[in-house]
Structure 1
C-alpha cells in the first residue's frame, strides 16, 4: 500500500520559498522605477502645459518664434549627441530591444541606456513630438531591473528576471496601470506565465504605481466619468465600427514598417539629425493648437469634453482632420529614429476614431450623449489591440486608465472584431516582433 504524505512533507519550510527573494527584489525595482518614471512623467506633463502658454505667445511675437526654432536646432544636436553612441538601444520605444535581450540576442549597458534614455526622451517628447512616454518608461524600468539584478541577485547573475519586472513596473508607472503592466509583459514581451515571473512582476508593478501617487495622486491617469452601458441595439453596429478600426490599424502597421525605407530617401540631412523634420513640423501644429502636441493626454481630454449639441458635421470634420494630422505626425516622428513610445499616439488615434463613431451614433439616435465617452474608451482599446496585437493588454490598460469597467463587454467585442480584421488583412499579430525583425539582431 503506497505511503500517504502529510502536510509537513508537502509544504515548504516557512520563509524558504525562492519567490520571497525574487518578490522582495521586485518590490525594490518597483519603488526605484516608480520614483524615476514619476519624475519623467511630471516633467513631460508640466512641459506640455508650458507649451500651451509658449505657442500663443510666439504666435504674436515672431522674434521669440525665431529663438524657439534656434532652440529646436540645439535640441536636435543634443539628441544626436546622446543617442548616437548607443543608437541600437535608444531609438524607438525600447521594447523590441528588451525582447532581443530576453531571447539572448542582445546585451545592454543598463546605466548608459538609463540616463541617456531619460534625457533624450525628455528632449524628444517635451517639444511636442507625437510620441508617447510609455516606451522610454518601460526601458527605464528594465534598466533599473538589470542594475538591481547585477548588484543584489548574486544567486543568479545571468538571470533576466528583474529586467522583465522592471519593464512591467515601467509601464505600470507610465499609466498608473499595474495589472496592464504585468499582462503586457506576459502577453507581448516574455510570452511566459510562470509564477516565478508574474508574482515578482506584479509586486514591482504595484510598488511602482504606489510611488507615482507621490506625484499624481491616486486618480486614474486618464479618468473618464463613464456611467453608461450601451444598449443592445448598438451591438450590431460594433461589427462595422470594428471592421473600419481594423482596416485603419492595418494601414498604421503598413506605414510604420515602411518608415525606415522612406527615411532612407531623405538624404538632404544626415541620418542622426533626422529629428529636425518632425520637430520643425510640430511648430505649425503648435501654433494652430498646442493641445494637439505630445502623446497626448491633453488631446483625448479635449475631445472627451466636446459639446455634441453644437454643429456636429463641423465637429466630425475637425475629428477627421485630427486623425490625419496625428497619423502622419506619428509616422514622421517615429520614423526619425528618436527615443519615444508608440502607445499614446495609438491611443490618441483610437480615441478620435471612437469619438467619430460616438457622434454618429448619438445623432442617429442609437445612444444618448453619455455613451460618447464609452465609445472613446472603446475606440482606444480596439485600435490599440488591432495595431499592437495585444488584445488583453488593450482591454486592461484602457480600463485602468479611464477608471471604469462599465464598457468591458462591448469593448471586448469591438476589440475582437478590430483585431481579427487587421489579422485577416495581413497585419502582424505582434507589432514588436516585426519591429525586432527589422533591427536585425544576431541570434
Structure 2
C-alpha cells in the first residue's frame, strides 16, 4: 500500500504535467492555424531542442528508452541491474519531454517503469532483498498502470499476466494493494470518471455476433503487421537516418510538426480521439486517413528510442479500426448505426490482446477504462479471435520481443551464498506432470524445496509425483536465479 501511494503521487504528477503540456502544444498549433504564423518558429526550435535534451537523457541512461515494460520484466528475472533513482528522475523528465509535446506515444509504459523504480527504491531503502524486493518492484509496476489509467484490477492482472508471468497469491495480493493505493491518489487528482468513459445505449444483440469474428480477424492480421513494423523500426532508422542513435528523436519531432499544422487534435497518445468517437461518428475516409497517420507516426515516434509507451497508441489504433469496420458494415447495410460505438470499444481490447498477447488484461482494462460491464462477452470474443490470429501467424507478445532486444546489464555472476527462490507453475501437459521428482533432470544448482498444492505446502522426496496445478518452489543461489530459471523454462518447452 505504501508503494502504491508513493507511485500514485509520482505517476499522477507525471500524467498531469503531460496533459498540461499537450494542451499548450495544441493551443500553439491552433494559433498558427488562426493567423499567427510566428508561433511556428517556436515550434521548430522546440522540436529540435526538446528531443536533443531527451536524447541526452537516453544516452546517459539507455534503459529509460521506450516504454520501460521490457526493462521491468528483465529486472524481475534478475537479468538486468538498474539504479532506481537514476531511472526514476530521468524517465520522469524524459517521458514528459517526449510525450507532452505531442509525439504519438503513451504514458502507461513509462508509468509502469516509474512505479517499478519506486518499488525498487522502497525495497532498497527498507533493506529488502531477493523475493521481497522483486515483489516490491512488481507492486510498483501495478501501481504505475493503475494510476496511469485509473484501472487497479487491470494494473494488477497486467503485472501477473505480462510482467511477472506468475499467478502467485502473494504477488497478486501485494500488487492489488499497491494498485488500489495508487488508484486512490489518481482518483483524488483526476476524479472518478473513467479515463475512456464512452456512453452507448444498446448492447450488441446475439444475432450480430458474427461481426465479432470478422473484426477479430481484421485486428489479428493488422496486429501482426504492427508487431513486425515496430520491431523493424530501429533497423530502418539506422539504415535511413544518418544521425547518432540518441538524436533520432529529432526526426520524430520534425515529422510530427506536419500533423500538428494540419490536425492538432490528432496529437498525443490518442485518448482524446477515442473520447471524440463518443460524441460524433466521423466519415469513413477520415477514419482511414486517421489510422494511416497514427500508425505511421506511432512507429516513427517509438522507433526513435525516446521514452514513451505503445499501450495507449495501440488502444487508439484499435478504436479507429473498430470504427472503420463498423462504418463499412453500416454503409453496406449489414450493421445498424447505433452499434458504431460498441465496435470502437470492442476493437480496443482486441487490438491490444493480439499485439500484447495478454487477453485477460485487455478485457479488464477496457472494462475499467470505459466504466461498464455489459460488454464483457463481445470483448472476450474479439480478444480471443485476434489473439488466435496473431498466434497462427507466428506473432510473439510484443513486450517479450522488445525485451529480447535489450542491452542487458546483469549483476556479476558468482556464488553469493544467499538463497533465492523460483516459482514454477505446472500446467496441464507439462513435461513435469505426473513425473516423480527423481525422474526429472533438474538444472545444476537448483533444489526443489517445496510443492504448493492447493492450500497445502508439501516437502518433496524423490518419489513425490508432481501434478498439474502444482507450484514448485525451487531454491538457487541469488546470482544464478536468472540462469537457472531460463534453463528450467527451456527444459519444460522440450517435447516429452
**TM-score, normalisation: structure 2:** 0.80
Paired residues of 2:66 and 2:305 also in contact (CA < 8 A): yes
1:304 to 253, 275, 278: 278
Residue matched to 1:39: 13
1:147 paired with 2:117, answer no
Consecutive unaligned residues in structure 1, runs of 5 or more:
1-26, 309-314
Q: Which has the higher contact order (CA 8 A, sep 6+)?
A: 1
Paired residues of 2:123 and 2:129 also in contact (CA < 8 A): no
Residue matched to 1:405: 373
- Count of residue correspondences: 409
1:61 to 36, 46, 50: 36
1:81 paired with 2:56, answer yes
Paired residues of 2:241 and 2:248 also in contact (CA < 8 A): no
C-alpha distance in structure 2 between counterparts of 1:154 and 1:101, whole Å = 15
2:309 to 324, 341, 350: 341
Residue matched to 1:326: 294
C-alpha distance in structure 2 between counterparts of 1:397 and 1:112, whole Å = 30
Query: Which runs of structure 2 are paired with 1:106-121 in the superposition (5 Å)?
Result: 106-121=80-95
Residue matched to 2:233: 259
CA apart distance, 1:345: 0.6
Query: Which runs of structure 2 are paired with 1:153-302 in the superposition (5 Å)?
Result: 153-154=127-128, 159-302=133-276
Residue matched to 1:14: none
C-alpha distance in structure 2 between counterparts of 1:207 and 1:360, whole Å = 43
Paired residues of 1:129 and 1:294 also in contact (CA < 8 A): yes
C-alpha distance in structure 1 between counterparts of 2:246 and 2:17, whole Å = 25
Cα deviation digits, residues 97-134 of structure 1 (max 9, x gap): 11111111111110011010001100000111000000
Larger deviation, residues 396-405 vs 236-245: 236-245
SS at match of 2:47: helix
1:95 paired with 2:62, answer no
Paired residues of 1:304 and 1:376 also in contact (CA < 8 A): no
Residue matched to 1:3: none
**TM-score, normalisation: structure 1:** 0.89
C-alpha distance in structure 2 between counterparts of 1:303 and 1:192, whole Å = 37
1:379 paired with 2:347, answer yes
Consecutive unaligned residues in structure 2, runs of 5 or more:
411-482, 484-496
C-alpha distance in structure 1 between counterparts of 2:128 and 2:117, whole Å = 17
Residue matched to 1:422: 390
Closer/same/farther in 2, CA of residues 368 and 267 from structure 1, 3 Å limit: closer
Closer/same/farther in 2, CA of residues 405 and 158 from structure 1, 3 Å limit: closer
CA apart distance, 1:290: 1.0
Larger deviation, residues 234-243 vs 348-357: 234-243
CA apart distance, 1:178: 0.3
Residue matched to 1:439: 406
Residue matched to 2:47: 72
Residue matched to 1:350: 318
Closer/same/farther in 2, CA of residues 327 and 155 from structure 1, 3 Å limit: closer
SS at match of 2:199: coil
Cα deviation digits, residues 248-302 of structure 1 (max 9, x gap): 0000001011112111113422211100111111111011111111002111112
C-alpha distance in structure 2 between counterparts of 1:296 and 1:419, whole Å = 23
Paired residues of 2:28 and 2:39 also in contact (CA < 8 A): no
Paired residues of 1:130 and 1:294 also in contact (CA < 8 A): yes
Paired residues of 1:149 and 1:157 also in contact (CA < 8 A): no
C-alpha distance in structure 1 between counterparts of 2:184 and 2:326, whole Å = 34
* Structure with higher helix content: 1
2:358 to 376, 390, 403: 390
Paired residues of 1:231 and 1:367 also in contact (CA < 8 A): no
